[in-house]
Chains A and B, each alone.
Chain A
Amino acid sequence: MKKAKLFFSALFVLLAVTLHAQNLRVSGVVRDAQTGEGVPFASIVVKGTMNGVSSDADGNYTISAPVNGTIVFSAMGYVTQEIPANGQTTINVSLVPDAETLSEVVVTAMGISRSEKTLGYAATTVKSDDIVGAHTTNAISSLSGKVAGVQVLATSSDPGASTNIVIRGFSSISGSNQPLYVVDGVPLTNSSISSASGEKSTAIAGIANIPAESIESMTILKGAAATALYGSRAANGVVIVTTKTGKKGENRNFTIEYSGGLQLRQVAMFPEMQNAWGQGWNGTQTFIENGSWGPKLDGSTQVYGPIWNHQQRIHEYSAKVKNIEEFFELGISQNHNVAFSGLSQDGRTSYYLSYGRNSDNGIMPGDHDVYKRNALAFRGSFDATNWLRLSSSVNFSQSLSKVVDTDQGTSVIDGLYEFPRDISVVDLKDLSNPFNTPEAYLTPYGITNPYWALENNYDHTNSQQINGKVQVDIKPWKNLTLTYRMGFDYINYDRKIGYPQITLDDALINDNMGYAPSHMNQDGWVAAAFGKSHETNHDFLANYNQAFFDDKLDVTVVAGVNINERGSSSMSGQTSKLTFDTGFWDLSNGADKTSISESASLRRLTGVFADVTLGWADEVFLEMTARNDWSSTLPVGANSYFYPGATLSWIFTNRLPKNDVLTFGKIRAAYGKTGNDAGVYRTSVTYTQAYTNGYYSGSGLTFPLNGVNAFIAAASKGSASLRPEMTSEFEVGANLQFFNGRIGLDATYYSRRTDDQIFSLPVDPATGYTSMVMNFGTVTNKGVELLLTTTPVQTRDFRWDLNFNWSKNNNLVVSLPEGLDGGKVALGSFSAGNDAVYVYAQEGLPMGEFYTYVPQRNEKGQLIVGSDGQPLIETEVSDVKKNFQSKWTGGINTSLSWKGITLSAVLDVRYGGYMFSRTKNLMQFTGNGIVTTYNDRRPFVVPDSVYADGSENISPIFLYDQGFQNYFNNAGAGLGGEFYLIDRSFAKLRNISLTWDMPKKWVNAAWLSGVSFTAYCNNAFTWTASDNRYIDPETTSYSGDLRAQFGELYSNPACRIWGFGVNVKF
């Protein structure tokens, strides 16, 4: 920390030093030639230099320029103008609106700025207003529903939960499908950490650490042609994040901006529960069961729980309809961001300094689910001369996550979902009462009081990240720019997990009612882990631009070298048999020093690349790229691989007569390849310290065993003949603008193919290994992306924008190695005997096909039942023809502005696909779910069923002998494991917000330049499929993007967030 501070201040001093040169200060106003209004954020650049500023909100600018220099004025949607300075100190310009409004500049590969209209591939840019306007703590979540072909996969609504995005579908069966994040030209290490149960993922570094307020724009490069220059890690697309830099303020050369707000988080969706039956088993009252398989609720006064110290609890045996809802509270969060930015008097030095703080509190009572983030950023640039610019950026962020874990057992959520319907949860708050602790809790069957769990389970993670760059740009002559950029990224984290010890002796239990509370006894444990990772990145770039043939032919050549190194190391220790049962989370608390472990990795990647862009008459553009990489993760001697790409675009409206209907039209085509290396250490055979597996987790042995150490062969075998994975992609598209941009259409068709997947192939353990690393298999993704932007109404005071995006991706596993049974490999599973559910990548199908045990049926399709009338389940899993991938996704974005008031909304739609829901499974296991009220729990014969000999089933299913429970738990209500697969479709009102910009004259009277207020609601409404009465279908458990699609296990409920924000600009 100290070091970081020193470094930071040194940098600031260096960059704040201003060297004066023989320049004029030119100022003026940039106006719209038609309306005469100022043009905000116009770009004003001294030609042939990197010296540039932008205009303020009213079009005012000041720039330092040589006496005989030329100043270039450009702005989005206007024709660029060049004006010689000629010694003038005031230059007012009027920019003519450009009919071809696609003149937007996008930052593409390697920080190269390109006019969007010239691109031969799809690149979507999301601007600051939309990013900030989404009001999400994690900026990447703001992309939800906004970009066709981009799926934002939130893992949960818990504070700090990590968010994944997947661009154009899943390509890699075993590797990551995450895009590469590049911030101001430097790759960003994105990482998250799994919870103690491994079923929740919390962001500790990366995009999650960049406050939305400090982002200028995010550009999503989707195809291989667009991403080839970024190399291996761009195989799944690139998100280019451009952060805000120093800008002049209104009437002053700096700005101070504050934005902040308050949010209230509430539960958005609960599983639907029954309210007719209470605590018990087999229809009989048991006093100590979790769940509600007991008798009908009758309002009588009943005892429950064990008899402790001659006392037993009583309650009214009636439904406590809101017993789960009442547990949760409104989580109050706040965020603040202050930015100080400006230009030096001579316009040569720019600076941007910001501090952001987020403090999110979730729905759990008290201070137990929390995410706090502090982010400090500095960016500066200095033009030493016309030909030398130095720039830098340093970001420091720090976060704290407190996680309420969601595993099976003594977790809060399991305690709630298995809770009997007739008992009040809120009455269990007092933890000094033995009936509210495991000592005499109402059930000793694995779950416990959620309030006790909340107080006694501990999972905290702290992390720090410092990243940024130092960049030097040199212009030895006007057509050539040489750039050296050194990027760095350091992350460290420490986390502590504590799990309380329970040591009950039942001494005061007079009657345990069947199963003693001491069965809840558990060895507590403490786990501590420290880790760090680093990434250094060097780019050497040469950018040459020259026009030929009377400026008809424009040639740009970019060539460069990239040297990247990534490493990480971590250490963890765990101890159990605690001396202090709870609350003292230190490794010294354990009587056992059960394990210490460490891990480290290091990888290097070097690439050489070139890009040539040819533009003819601002009409036809051809871009060709090539790259060669060397990676340390491939076998030595075979670690080099080459991949090319090319794109072509044609603005055909240049050939059409000028008209007001089709005002702009471009067609484009692109082809590209991207190679991808392997994960670390997958090229050799290794040994691992010996350990063994019992049946339930934690019951195996660990070495050293009684002083003896041992090593055994690792379960996975590496391969000395690995090759890189290759993704090739072809895309065609068109951009059309009608009625001067009132209607715009961007359409893309793409076809992507990933060959030679590097995979740890699960094999029959009889081979001696459970998996072997190899290249195999091909996956294709083909799809269409449509973006329709409209402005149905536009008057002087009122504007209505309505945008639609839609995308459809067809994913297909084209081939998997022969020999695998049915050509399939498992991506995930929920395994618990007869209701095990698996999801596979299978040849000939999209990735994510669900398999499970289904009931036996005869040739007529009738269920076959056993002598007890229960459906018989097959002994092998079968394909249930359900897949986790969606059929299509879409979004509608709209905004209505009237004077200073803007109402906007984002609707996000996903259609199709299934997921596994443990919450549903739990609802019927415990008898709490509405589904368990089938036939009013009266005896029934399974409909349309026969015995194995073909005769009609006449054996009723009874409640009293556990038949009902078995019917739901073992036979999945006649559907087997398919019963737990729910439709994932949803339509979600992701965000609705109302913003009021205070009138200028009021604001100016207060010496300010802008004030606005916003009220909003995120995750406002979710419409789910009719069979989903359980969870928000976006919820996932498991880390890893593809695996996470399997579904959810014991997830906390999803939240709705109400917020209020204010923005003040000085």
Chain B
Amino acid sequence: MKKILYFVSAVVITLSAASCEKYFDINYDPNLPASENITNDMIFPGIEAALATSYGDFYRITGGYFSEQYSHLFGTSNYLDYSQFEMSATRSNTHYIQLFQKVLVNAKTVSEKAQAEEDWGTNLAAIALRAFAYQILVDCYGEIPYTDALDDTILTPAYDDGKTVYQGIIAELDEALSKASAGQKTVKSLLYPNGTSSDWIRFAKSVKLKILSRMSGAVDVSSQLGSLISEGDFITKDAQFAGCWSNADGQYSPFYSEEFRPGMQYNVCANLALIGTMILKDAEGDVVYTDPRLAKYFATNNQGAYIGGISGTNFATTAPAPYNNAAGFCRPNVTPTTPVAVLSVAEVEFFIAEYYAKSSPAQAAEHYAKAIEASFASNGVEGVDEYLAQWPFDGANPAKSIGIAKWVALAGSNNFESWCEVRRLGYPAFGSVKGSDMWNGSNAVDISKYEAGTLYTPYKRFDQVGDNTLIARWPYANSSQTRNKSCPEFPGYTAKVFWAK
């Protein structure tokens, strides 16, 4: 009897212990999939969308203001600080988070999964976007967590200097390129919807060209550049997110969604510097040349004219027409489905031109012309020769001719890259006129003094950036400053990032 009792109790205890475990083992969110079940095809479009949103919206807007392609619309003040060359730690925060937490950590997962599956095309795709995102971060902040980053055991990742990061991503690209071979099926993608590894190889090499060129003034990378250019396997079509946008909430092309969607405040308009460079006038004030791309970049104002604002102000109602009305300014030509530019053939050609400028001015001029051709072709306009007549390649000052031409070529699509390249090349340079010479803050506007192909000190400039100076870098993002004791002291708005020194 006793034995039976023991047996029964033992069975009851075992059963209840086992069912107890099961009874409490319910802590799995039914609404979120677990990491085991996720594939690269599910992740990759998410990475691309995050990159496209940040690059095509926030970085585009800030880049446009900081390179004086954009100015502030009358009547609103959302971005007046950008227009005055100011950036705060909170302003850039969302996109610092987006690049790390949506782009980079997921790209790392894709890369790891692809390596495990020996899917080298997909690995290259992930590394290429990773390199692209890291470059943006270095170009904004100068230094950034890299070696310690994306490791969930290190809560306070150390910052690496920009050069280390650049060299790191070059090495990563080299490694991934060495393993990838052409013509293989790769991950599901928005950038190359039906693409193969060949598309990603060309893209990765073009990204590498951009990174090497950017650091070429600070580090001697001429041999690497030389061999890369001699391989010549760069993009032949502009790399852009196109075809994935539609006219619906949450599906709009990012810049449209931010600045043009109903219910948003409209802030961005053309800068008089860009218009004054694209429409050339003679001493009498008569138009002698109009760049045909301008009509693609911007819509005309309510009078059918091209009017740009002045950096650092949103004018006042007391200003003379058309400066006293939002409709008096030109807004960028953007639709719900406008592609997000990532890297263009024109940029590749400009970099090649710049490379040859040191050794072979003829080849440089040829690639300069190819860059212009590519830019005109991208915009669907003709008239390259007329443009070249006005803005020829200058072998004596290649940086100036390339700088100005590139600033104009990128103004309609890739404003962030414009800000980087203006900082690096030093052109367009500041002219002699200032914003406050053109607008008196009360009732007079005189833009006749503006000199084509130059920048100017904004009407009101951020106090911590001096006259005739571009904002050289951004304060480290607030979410790093306040959560990471390894975040360095901010060296100031005019401390140049490593490649611009």
A residues with CB within 8 A of B: 281-282, 284, 286, 445-446, 502-503, 512-516, 519-523, 525, 576-577, 591-592, 594-595, 598-604, 606, 630-637, 639, 680-681, 683-688, 690-696, 698-703, 705-706, 708-715, 717, 761-770, 772, 817, 819-822, 824, 826, 831, 833-834, 836, 838, 866-868, 872, 875-877, 960-962
A765/B96 in contact, CB under 8 A: yes
Partner of B326 from the list A515, A576, A598, A702 (CB cut-off 8 Å) is A515
A706/B245 in contact, CB under 8 A: yes
Instruction: Sort A-B residue pairs by CB-CB distance and give the 5 closest, nearest first.
Output: A522-B263, A690-B46, A768-B105, A702-B250, A710-B46
Partner of B50 from the list A635, A636, A692, A695 (CB cut-off 8 Å) is A692
State whether A820 and B485 are in contact (beta carbons under 8 Å apart), knowing that A512-B325, A514-B317, A592-B249 are contacts in the complex: yes
Q: B108 — nearest CB in chain A belongs to which residue?
A: A768
Q: B33 — nearest CB in chain A belongs to which residue?
A: A687
Residues on B with C-beta less than 8 A from A763 are: 155, 483-484
Residues on B with C-beta less than 8 A from A691 are: 250
State whether A708 and B244 are in contact (beta carbons under 8 Å apart), knowing that A512-B327, A866-B463 are contacts in the complex: yes
B109/A708 in contact, CB under 8 A: no
Partner of B317 from the list A284, A519, A577, A866 (CB cut-off 8 Å) is A284
5 contacts between A and B (CB under 8 A): A692-B102, A705-B190, A706-B244, A706-B245, A766-B157
B25 at the interface (CB under 8 A from A): yes
Residues on B with C-beta less than 8 A from A523 are: 249, 261-263
How close is B17's CB to chain A, nearest CB, in angstroms?
11
Bound CA span A445–B78, Å: 12
How close is A439's CB to chain B, nearest CB, in angstroms?
15
A-contacting 9-mer, from B37-45, B206-214, B232-240: B37-45
State whether A696 and B27 are in contact (beta carbons under 8 Å apart), knowing that A514-B317, A769-B152 are contacts in the complex: no
Bound CA span A500–B47, Å: 33
A875/B23 in contact, CB under 8 A: no
A699/B258 in contact, CB under 8 A: yes
- In chain B, positions 224-278 with a C-beta closer than 8 Å to chain A are 243-246, 248-251, 254, 257-258, 261-266
Bound CA span A595–B248, Å: 11
B442/A961 in contact, CB under 8 A: yes
Q: Which of B30, B97, B317, B464 gathers the greatest number of chain A CB atoms within 10 Å?
A: B317
A-contacting 9-mer, from B85-93, B345-353, B400-408: B85-93
How many pairs of residues, A versus B, come closer than 8 Å at their CB atoms?
A: 313
A-contacting 9-mer, from B53-61, B282-290, B383-391: B53-61
B49/A710 in contact, CB under 8 A: yes
A696/B481 in contact, CB under 8 A: no
State whether A519 and B265 are in contact (beta carbons under 8 Å apart), knowing that A514-B317, A636-B24 are contacts in the complex: yes
Bound CA span A710–B51, Å: 14
Residues on B with C-beta less than 8 A from A762 are: 479, 483
A699/B261 in contact, CB under 8 A: yes
B300 at the interface (CB under 8 A from A): no
Partner of A680 from the list B27, B35, B42, B484 (CB cut-off 8 Å) is B27
Bound CA span A834–B482, Å: 16
Residues on A with C-beta less than 8 A from B463 are: 866-868, 872
How close is A978's CB to chain B, nearest CB, in angstroms?
17
Q: Which of A603, A692, A826 gathers the greatest number of chain B CB atoms within 10 Å?
A: A692
Bound CA span A636–B324, Å: 67
A-contacting 9-mer, from B2-10, B118-126, B143-151, B416-424: B143-151
Q: A865 — nearest CB in chain B belongs to which residue?
A: B463
Partner of A514 from the list B157, B263, B324 (CB cut-off 8 Å) is B324
State whether A630 and B151 are in contact (beta carbons under 8 Å apart), knowing that A515-B326, A768-B100 are contacts in the complex: no
Q: B78 — nearest CB in chain A belongs to which residue?
A: A696
Bound CA span A964–B248, Å: 41
State whether A764 and B479 are in contact (beta carbons under 8 Å apart), knowing that A514-B324, A600-B30, A687-B38 are contacts in the complex: yes
A700/B88 in contact, CB under 8 A: no
Residues on A with C-beta less than 8 A from B249 are: 523, 525, 576-577, 592, 594, 698, 702
B297 at the interface (CB under 8 A from A): no
Residues on A with C-beta less than 8 A from B38 are: 687, 711
Residues on A with C-beta less than 8 A from B66 are: none
B480/A765 in contact, CB under 8 A: yes
How close is A496's CB to chain B, nearest CB, in angstroms?
18
Bound CA span A717–B250, Å: 26
A765/B244 in contact, CB under 8 A: no
Q: A864 — nearest CB in chain B belongs to which residue?
A: B463
Residues on A with C-beta less than 8 A from B50 are: 690, 692, 712
B292 at the interface (CB under 8 A from A): no
Q: How many residues of B are counted as interface, with CB atoms below 8 angstroms from the partner's CB atoms?
A: 105
List 8 other contacts, CB 8 Å, given A705-B250, A768-B149: A513-B317, A603-B27, A687-B32, A693-B97, A706-B245, A767-B149, A821-B482, A868-B463
Bound CA span A488–B232, Å: 73
Residues on A with C-beta less than 8 A from B13 are: none
B1 at the interface (CB under 8 A from A): no
Q: Which of A687, A763, A822 gathers the greatest number of chain B CB atoms within 10 Å?
A: A687
Residues on A with C-beta less than 8 A from B91 are: 833
Bound CA span A427–B386, Å: 61
Residues on B with C-beta less than 8 A from A515 are: 74-76, 325-326
Bound CA span A623–B159, Å: 57
State whether A766 and B106 are in contact (beta carbons under 8 Å apart), knowing that A630-B20, A875-B475 are contacts in the complex: no
B365 at the interface (CB under 8 A from A): no
Q: B29 — nearest CB in chain A belongs to which residue?
A: A681
B487 at the interface (CB under 8 A from A): yes
State whether A686 and B49 are in contact (beta carbons under 8 Å apart), knowing that A602-B26, A706-B251 are contacts in the complex: no
A694/B53 in contact, CB under 8 A: yes
Bound CA span A769–B106, Å: 10
A961/B487 in contact, CB under 8 A: no
Residues on A with C-beta less than 8 A from B441 are: 960-961
Partner of A875 from the list B94, B262, B264, B490 (CB cut-off 8 Å) is B490
- In chain B, positions 307-336 with a C-beta closer than 8 Å to chain A are 316-318, 324-327
Residues on B with C-beta less than 8 A from A521 are: 262-263
B460 at the interface (CB under 8 A from A): yes
Residues on B with C-beta less than 8 A from A680 are: 27, 29
Residues on B with C-beta less than 8 A from A631 are: 24
Residues on B with C-beta less than 8 A from A695 are: 57-58, 61, 94-95, 258
B21 at the interface (CB under 8 A from A): yes
B116 at the interface (CB under 8 A from A): no
Bound CA span A592–B54, Å: 24
B81 at the interface (CB under 8 A from A): yes
Q: B153 — nearest CB in chain A belongs to which residue?
A: A767
State whether A594 and B248 are in contact (beta carbons under 8 Å apart), knowing that A286-B317, A515-B74, A770-B479 are contacts in the complex: yes
B42/A710 in contact, CB under 8 A: yes
B31/A600 in contact, CB under 8 A: yes
Residues on B with C-beta less than 8 A from A876 are: 89, 475, 481, 490
- In chain B, positions 477-495 with a C-beta closer than 8 Å to chain A are 477, 479-485, 487, 490
Residues on B with C-beta less than 8 A from A717 are: 152
A819/B485 in contact, CB under 8 A: yes
Residues on B with C-beta less than 8 A from A961 are: 441-442
How close is A720's CB to chain B, nearest CB, in angstroms?
10
Bound CA span A923–B466, Å: 33
A632/B248 in contact, CB under 8 A: no
B49/A692 in contact, CB under 8 A: yes
A875/B190 in contact, CB under 8 A: no
Bound CA span A821–B483, Å: 5
State whether A516 and B326 are in contact (beta carbons under 8 Å apart), knowing that A281-B316, A686-B35, A699-B264 are contacts in the complex: yes
A703/B46 in contact, CB under 8 A: yes
B244/A826 in contact, CB under 8 A: no
B98 at the interface (CB under 8 A from A): yes
A712/B106 in contact, CB under 8 A: yes
State whether A772 and B25 are in contact (beta carbons under 8 Å apart), knowing that A706-B243, A764-B145 are contacts in the complex: no
How close is A599's CB to chain B, nearest CB, in angstroms?
5
Bound CA span A703–B45, Å: 9
Bound CA span A714–B109, Å: 13
How close is A485's CB to chain B, nearest CB, in angstroms?
21
Residues on A with C-beta less than 8 A from B102 are: 690, 692, 712
